Structure 1
């Protein structure tokens, strides 16, 4: 496991650096953009727009987790597939399920750190300009966006590990459908009653990825 973690770190470190710099830049821009909004408009008007009209002042974050998950998934699995390294590793004593779960666990762990940073930026920025209750509402509103990032990561693995082109297209459509469900509504707290069901749906992409990995190992049969 330690050797696998080191291999993944060597492979992903440059991508992680770019992702980290990108999110730092976005966080700074996000804060400055919010501060500018409060400088050109009265706070009372902004609170009214948020409370009564439902204007979302942080929807710039909406697709950031999605892009991050897709990039991280592609960066992790595309080199393995193109160079055949993963198929060789699949015949090691570690076992297919344990190997793929280890890869997914490492990738999801790294993604979780980035998403936690995004939520921290969101909470800190909203808390700096809005009353306290807005922070909890912002985090709840952004929760499906974070799930979209996880779905994009798992979707990248699901598509790249599938050796059959037709099944690959189906997997892409399924992953896209799950991501779309996470973005059906950008209204405040729109997913409060469905967030756990959505999380279970995203979680079901893990066994689907294991199935695709088995087909990849067997050359598309099974």
Structure 2
């Protein structure tokens, strides 16, 4: 099965590099590209793609608004944000807008390709160190402070809360199993229960829920 990708970046050279990398893979193909968010939304209205590689900082319409509009349109493509991190103050908002995750632009080729395939398969990309640093950096800017009274908190068990806290650090199921002395299959069950109970789309949404409700506390090192 060949996965289709759509590239969104205002720099032609970046798009060209991504296209070259992607089309070197037998199971990946580029079906279109755009130089800003508005152009991307317009083109994707009539185009099917499995994954959208979306830059954040762009003219006309940034990646956050483009992601939000694609989500509202119900477009089936999964959005993977590409960011330089150090300067981007929009990534947190992009995740909340419906992005499946984010990768740093200086990620190794194998990491980016693995992320693309994982996102296309319905997973999410929550880079362990970068995600925690990102959320720690922006947690204080969330409007209204922690939503500690969220009614969904009453639905989860103490063990599920431990699993959720581990997810918020970016830990994989294997790492969570080792940390909490559980079978990996049990961790998968807990993750599935959390997704259902909290009405979260994926692990990214679980991470955001954990920080917004105060279940997880940003590392402020």
Per the TM superposition, whether the score is higher than 0.5 is: no
More helix by share: 1
Q: Tell me: higher relative CO, structure 1 or 2? Use CA pairs within 8 A at least 6 residues apart.
A: 1
More strand by share: 2
Structure with greater Cα Rg: 1
TM-score with structure 1 setting the length? 0.28
TM-score with structure 2 setting the length? 0.28
